[in-house]
Amino acid sequence: MYIWVAVNVDEQVREIRNKAESYINERELSSPTFALPFHISLKISFYIQDDKFKNVVSDLRGYFKTLKPFTILTKGIEQSGTIVWITMQDNTDLTCIHKNLDDMLYEKHGIEQHPFDKSFLFHTSVCIMNNEDQARLAFDATKDINVPKELKAESFIIGCSESGKAGTFKMIEEIVV
We report the CATH number of the domain holding residue 23 as 3.90.1140.10
Amino acid (one-letter) located at 131: N
pLDDT (0 to 100) of residue 34: 60
What is the four-CA torsion angle of 66, 167, 165, 12, rounded to 10 degrees? -30
pLDDT (0 to 100) of residue 92: 97
- Which CA distances in Å does 85 have to 60, 68, 99, 121, 127? 26, 25, 22, 11, 7
C-alpha atoms less than 13 angstroms from C-alpha of 89 in its C-beta half-sphere: 10
The candidate with the shortest Cα–Cα distance to 31, out of 173, 167, 148, is 167
pLDDT (0 to 100) of residue 30: 64
pLDDT (0 to 100) of residue 32: 56
Q: Residue 129 pLDDT more than 80?
A: yes
Q: What is the pTM of this model?
A: 0.90
- Identify each DSSP E strand in 39-82 by its residue range: 39-41, 46-47, 70-80
Mean pLDDT of 114-139: 88
Residues 145, 124: contact at Cβ < 8 Å?
A: no
Which of 36-40, 44-48, 141-145 has maximum average pLDDT?
44-48
pLDDT (0 to 100) of residue 138: 84
DSSP state, 94?
Answer: H
What's the structural domain count of the chain? 1
Grade residue 167 by pLDDT with cuts at 50, 70 and 90: confident
Mean pLDDT of 62-87: 95
3-class DSSP assignment, residue 129: coil
Q: Residue 130 pLDDT more than 90?
A: no
Mean per-residue pLDDT over the chain, rounded: 91
Q: Residue 160 is part of which domain span? A: 2-176
What digits encode the pLDDT tens for the residues 22-35?
877 787 766 655 66
